[in-house]
Structure 1
Amino acid sequence: MTHPSLDAWLSYIESQHPTEIELGLERGAKVLAKLNIGRPKAKIITVAGTNGKGSTCTLLTQFLTARGHRVGTYTSPHFIAFNERIALNNVPCDDALICQAFETIEALRGDVSLTYFEFSTLAALWIFDQQQLDYWVLEVGLGGRLDSVNMVDTDVAVVTSIALDHTDWLGDSLEVIAQEKVGIARAGKLLVSGVVAPPESLADTAKKIGANLYQKGVDFHLSQDAQSWSCAVGETNYTSLPMPQLPLENAATVVAVLTYMGLAPEKAELVDLLTNCQMTGRFQQVSSEPLTFLDVAHNPEAAQQLATKLAELDKPAIAVCGMLKDKDIASVVEHLSGAFSAWFCADLNVPRGSKGTDIINLLPANVATKSQAYGSVALACEAAYQVAQKENCALIVFGSFVTVTDYLLSQRPQD
């Protein structure tokens, strides 16, 4: 079977499984075996974590490509185009190649029903195999142990952080969630944990698997002052590093991963990486008049990180916020309620989207009276934009990948 365009293929694969999410490796593994996919010339790096997966994959990919390696990177979700999920040397694959991958999978899968994410993962793996790459950098979609990315045995497992999120799927305690995320590790292979104050089950699970575990705060260490930071990885010390564009905790984890892989960076390489590496929706500045940032923060841990960034601004801030109703909206609001003088809360017009009024109802009374709900992100941004210009405030658009995507699609003029 074939389809005339990538959009047609995506509509087709969305319809092929009765549920959007169904964790498990059996279905994908059956098709993977038929695809006869090999391995990269060097290593597969698999990245799991509650927050920080995307920035970790971006930092690793940019470093490896700067070193001259050929790298395939698989991430999710996308913002504007599906092609963002499957990249070769930082460049999204073109429609024709992705369609060819889908056609190959469809021809071989027989009666195996695949989810949208399983189709996507298999397509990425097939494309990477076809391209004869040096490294594959794979971002876990949900959890780890039962995520379709875990169909392939990794050489290097990375766990960036562990917090309560997706509790319906992963469990309602940090101990259980840690077990799920560490499930990407393999016996005798490297496992690097960037988790701060990890639950005991992280090390226990790594030991049961037989992985070679290195942990932040135990085997490698991060320190910082107002202007710079340092990282000690075993006997290797990096001092007076510039503050990264992406989250510092993830940058330190990446330094450790590279060092333990035998690719210890030179300081000049790190300075270049930290200074220039950016990504969509991670406290991304998109305008200076008014000062505007996009952030996909959608859970309590990410909200805390955003609050830290906001405290560094030299001007007050207002928020455009839209969230999915299955997220812990109350905790996100609690962490950020004092960071904004007013909230412009947007309905997210997707099946799991919450209403702007749902967010306002959780705000403290003194903030709620200065806040308002809008029918879309575009409308909320239009109103907030006027206030930010008039009052010389920073404008922060956050709460979900959907929120950031809606902003980008609204084509607000950017610098």
Structure 2
Amino acid sequence: MTRTLAEWLTYQETTNVHEIELGLDRVRNVWEAMGSPRPAPLVITVGGTNGKGSTVALLEGMLRAAGYRTGCYTSPHLVHYNERIRIDGVDAADADLVASFERIESARGTIAQTYFEFGTLAAIDLMARAGVDVAILEVGLGGRLDAVNIIDADAVVITTIDLDHQAWLGNDRDSIGREKAGIARAGQPTVVGELAPPEGLLAALRDAGAHIELAGSSYWWDVPASGPAVGTWRWLHSDGTTLDLPRPALAAPVQFANASAAIAALHALRARLHVPAAAVAEALAQVRVDGRLQRVGERPLTLVDVGHNPQAARALAEWLDAQPGDGQVLAVYGALGDKDVAGVVMALGSRVDRWFLAGLDGDTPRGLRAEALGEVFDTALPEAMRQAYPDVASAWQAAREAAGEGDTILLFGSFFVASAALTTRV
């Protein structure tokens, strides 16, 4: 019997009793049974806590502008599963995904696979069959034991390290950094995109024998705050390379770091890739990523962001601080049970004038009820104005009714919030 894509995805949730089960043996065995396909002659793997999706999209845009055919694998998706795999800028078709899942099922025999492992193998399979020039693979969780790590990368980008997924990765930045360093390979370039990375990450990279390209040391960037060059910025490398570039279309200030890390990775691969400055500039001016300060409404300005941990919240705070005007900020916020809700709300603090707390318990078993979010506020930010709602749609409707035309509505806290926002109209 031929399954539809929806039926395959439902089935995959039953093939392993654990939603998340880190380890490479199962997925490597199935990959080898499929013939050990390499997704592309050149592979760039992107890991880290925040900024991975933006960095993947920037790499994809720069490479495609330079004439290369790309394959991209990212997760999770916002609306459609097909978003997870892109071939030359186009989401994978249902039929192609179904055919790949059938091949995986045939190869796996009795070997259990998680939902994510099925998707990772499908990405590798479809990219290999499409004959792309460069594969860009985003790590799902951690690094060392993530399914993506069955593929040896020619270059690695590690964007940032912060507290997230502590149950699997460790309770401090050093421990998490060591796990994420596991995607690096001896003798290959690893771009560290954070200006103050944890020593645990750097030590693990040195132990692995990786060639470290470190932000602020190997390369850096300069963004004029005023003057005639305010609309541009400069990327510089310790070898003397300098690029004068347009500001990224991606809105948040943190995108300069993501763009710089992407450029550093391509610069490290310059013996095998030719990506001229004009291609970098073209991509910076055009690349946008759904769910990253994505505008979905004007007057009031309405933005959707997938930020879900304190580091992402600090980036949102930095963006809010840079905005002109004196309108209020109204936040529609929902979260999963394993997230640092207190850290998120404290990072934004008084920048948010009113909170509309959205329950996610109807979207996923991991989702928090709005009342549980409110209990965190009682301790972390007791003075905050807040109201609980059963779901994103009702919280957004209330925020919309409360907002003036000069205000800003920010929907954030989870991919589930972003997905609901992008599929709901109020």
Q: What TM-score range do you get, normalising by the shorter chain?
A: over 0.9
Q: How does 1:232-247 map to 2 (within 5 A)?
A: 232-234=236-238, 235-239=240-244, 241-245=246-250, 247=255
Code of the aligned partner of 1:345:
L
Q: Which moved more, 1:162-171 or 1:282-291?
A: 282-291
Code of the aligned partner of 1:220:
Y
| Alpha-carbon displacement from aligned partner over 1:128-160 (angstroms, at most 9, x marks no partner) | 111111011000000000000001111111100
**Residue of 373, 384, 407 corresponding to 1:367:** 384
Aligned to 2:368: 354
Code of the aligned partner of 2:383:
N
Aligned to 2:162: 163
The answer as to 2:386 corresponding to 1:382 is no
Aligned to 2:258: 250
Equivalent residues of 2:65, 2:282 under 8 A apart: no
Aligned to 1:406: 420
* Structure 1 length-normalised TM: 0.95
The answer as to 2:258 corresponding to 1:261 is no
| Alpha-carbon displacement from aligned partner over 1:291-332 (angstroms, at most 9, x marks no partner) | 111011100100000011111222331111111111000000
Q: Structure 1: which 5+ runs fail to align?
A: none
2: distance between equivalents of 1:333 and 1:209?
37
Equivalent residues of 2:44, 2:157 under 8 A apart: yes
Equivalent residues of 2:299, 2:405 under 8 A apart: no
Equivalent residues of 1:54, 1:139 under 8 A apart: yes
Aligned to 1:90: 89
The Cα shift of 1:42 comes to: 3.6
Aligned to 1:308: 318
Percent identity among equivalent residues? 40
1: distance between equivalents of 2:260 and 2:400?
35
Code of the aligned partner of 2:250:
Q
| Alpha-carbon displacement from aligned partner over 1:66-95 (angstroms, at most 9, x marks no partner) | 211111100000011110001101111100
The number of equivalent residue pairs is: 408
Equivalent residues of 1:333, 1:359 under 8 A apart: no
1: distance between equivalents of 2:311 and 2:411?
17
1:243/1:120 CA distance change after superposition, 3 Å: closer
Equivalent residues of 1:37, 1:125 under 8 A apart: no
**Residue of 349, 352, 359 corresponding to 1:337:** 349
- SS of the aligned residue for 1:107 comes to helix
The Cα shift of 1:403 comes to: 0.4
* Structure 2 length-normalised TM: 0.92
The answer as to 2:287 corresponding to 1:277 is yes
2: distance between equivalents of 1:319 and 1:41?
42
Equivalent residues of 1:255, 1:265 under 8 A apart: no
Equivalent residues of 1:37, 1:126 under 8 A apart: no
The Cα shift of 1:359 comes to: 2.6
Code of the aligned partner of 1:190:
P
Code of the aligned partner of 2:13:
E
Equivalent residues of 1:229, 1:243 under 8 A apart: no
Equivalent residues of 2:44, 2:155 under 8 A apart: yes
Q: Structure 2: which 5+ runs fail to align?
A: none
| Alpha-carbon displacement from aligned partner over 1:331-351 (angstroms, at most 9, x marks no partner) | 000011211110111000220
CA root-mean-square deviation = 1.6
Q: Which moved more, 1:238-247 or 1:112-121?
A: 238-247
The Cα shift of 1:411 comes to: 3.2
